Structure 1
C-alpha cells in the first residue's frame, strides 16, 4: 500500500523515454521511434501514451505585451490501455507525420527563437503523469533553402526567426494551424533600409510563400505571394522572387 501511495506521488512510478530514429528531419517528413516504458515499484495501469508535436509561439496582447505559449501541431496515441508490472519494460513503436506548417529550426538566423519538440506523456490514474521531452531539428526543403540563399545573395541577412500566433493568407492559400513562422531579413542599409519577412506553407508537392516587404521610406508594408513546386528550378525560384527583391 505504501509503495502505491508513493507511486501516486511520482516516487517509484513508471518512467517513459522516447527514442527517435532521427532527431533531424526535413519539412513534410515523418518522425519514427520507440516509446520505452519502464515499470516502477508497483504494478500500474497506463490509460494512454500520447505523443505531441509542439512548438513555441509568440503571442501579443492588446496592451502590447508579449508572452510565449506552447502550441500542439499534431499528436498520436501510441497504444491502448494496459498494465505494466513492477520493473517491466515495454517498447511501443510510433510514427508521427509532421504538420505542413511546422516551423523550420535549422536556419542561420542571428536570433533563432524557433523551438520544436516531442512531448511524450503517460496517462496514469491517480498519479503524477511522467513525461519526456525531445527537441527536433526541422530542416528546410531544398526549394525553401534555395529561396533563402537567393535572398541572402541579394545582400540580405537573416536577422530573426520566430513563430507568431495567428494566421496568414496569400494568393490562393492560407494557414490553418493558428501559428506561422516568420523569417526576417534585412539589408542593413541606413538610408535605404529594406526588410523582408518570409512565411512558408507546404501543400503536397507545392510550397506557398508569403513575403512582407518593409522599406523605411515607402509609407507602409507591401505583400507578395507565390507558389512553387518542390522540384522548382533555380530559374523558376529567381523569377518568383523578382517582384519581392525589386520593390
Structure 2
C-alpha cells in the first residue's frame, strides 16, 4: 500500500521516454518514434499513452501580449494496460504533422517558432509522467524557393512567430486556429518595406498570403495571395514572388 501511495505522488512511479526516429521532419511529413515506458516500484494501470503535437502562439488582447501552448494534433497510442513493477515496454507510433504546422528551421534574426511532441502516461490518482521532445520542421522545397526569392529581392528575414487566429486568402482559408508569420524587411530608407508571409498546405498545393507594409506609404497594409503546386517550377515561383515585390 505504501508503494502505491508513493507512486501516486510520483515517487517510484512509471517513467516515460519518447525516442524519435529523427528530430527533423519536412512540412506535411510525419513524426515517428518509440515510446519507452519503464515500470516503477509497483504495478500501475496505464489508461492511455497520449501524444500531443504542440506549438506556442502569440495572443494579443487589450491587456497586452501573452503566449499560450497550442495543440496542433494528438494521438492516443494504445488501449489501457498494466505495467508491472520494473517492466520495460516499447510502443511505436507515427503522428502526421498538421498541414499548418509552423516551420522552425528558419534563418531569421528572431525565430520564435517552436514545435514539440509531448508524451503523457494517463494514470489514475497519480502525477502523470511526461516527456517533451522538440522537433525541427523544415520547409517544403517550393516554400524554400519562395523564401529565397524574397531574399534575392533585397529583403532580410528578421522575425518568425506563430499567432492565434485564422487566415483567409483569395481561394483558401486556414483551419488550425493558428498561423505562422515570416517577416522580411529591406534596407531602404525612402522605400522602406516589410513583407510578412504565411503558408497553408492543402493536398498537392501550397497557398501563401503576403502582407506588405510600406512605412512611408499612404495606402496602409496591402494583401496578396497566390497558390503554387508542390512541384512548382522556378519560373512559377519567380512569377508569384514578383507580384509581391511589385507592391
TM-score, with normalisation over the residues of structure 1? 0.99
> How much has 1:216 moved relative to structure 2?
1.2
Counterparts of 1:24 and 1:241 in 2: how far apart (Å)? 27
Counterparts of 1:124 and 1:34 in 2: how far apart (Å)? 19
| 1:73 matches 2:72 | yes
2:26 matched residue in structure 1: 26
Structure 1 residue ranges (4+ consecutive) displaced by more than 6 angstroms after TM superposition: none
Q: Residue 5 of structure 2 aligns to a residue in which SS?
A: helix
| 1:206 matches 2:205 | yes
| 1:147 matches 2:146 | yes
Q: Can you list the C-alpha shifts for 1:132-186, whole angstroms capped at 9, x where unaligned?
A: 0000000000000000000001110000000011111101100111100000000
1:41 matched residue in structure 2: 41
Counterparts of 2:119 and 2:187 in 1: how far apart (Å)? 42
> How much has 1:40 moved relative to structure 2?
0.2
1:130 matched residue in structure 2: 129
2:158 matched residue in structure 1: 159
| 1:117 matches 2:121 | no
Q: Residue 100 of structure 1 aligns to a residue in which SS?
A: coil
2:227 matched residue in structure 1: 227
Counterparts of 2:185 and 2:240 in 1: how far apart (Å)? 19
Runs of at least 5 residues in structure 2 that lack an aligned partner in the other structure: none
1:175 matched residue in structure 2: 174
Counterparts of 1:189 and 1:105 in 2: how far apart (Å)? 27
Q: Residue 4 of structure 1 aligns to a residue in which SS?
A: helix
> How much has 1:236 moved relative to structure 2?
0.3
**1:190-201 superposed matches below 5 A:** 190-201=189-200
Counterparts of 2:189 and 2:60 in 1: how far apart (Å)? 28
Q: Residue 245 of structure 2 aligns to a residue in which SS?
A: helix
> How much has 1:243 moved relative to structure 2?
1.6
Q: Residue 79 of structure 1 aligns to a residue in which SS?
A: coil
> How much has 1:238 moved relative to structure 2?
0.6
Q: Residue 145 of structure 1 aligns to a residue in which SS?
A: helix
| 1:15 matches 2:42 | no
> How much has 1:190 moved relative to structure 2?
1.8
> How much has 1:204 moved relative to structure 2?
0.7
Q: Residue 192 of structure 1 aligns to a residue in which SS?
A: coil
Counterparts of 2:192 and 2:217 in 1: how far apart (Å)? 10
Q: Can you list the C-alpha shifts for 1:210-232, whole angstroms capped at 9, x where unaligned?
A: 00000012220000000000000
How many pairs were matched up? 246
What CA RMSD, in Å, does the superposition of the two structures yield over aligned residues?
0.6
> How much has 1:62 moved relative to structure 2?
2.0
**1:50-65 superposed matches below 5 A:** 50-63=50-63, 65=64
Counterparts of 1:137 and 1:229 in 2: how far apart (Å)? 23
> How much has 1:188 moved relative to structure 2?
2.2
> How much has 1:96 moved relative to structure 2?
0.3
Counterparts of 1:46 and 1:189 in 2: how far apart (Å)? 59
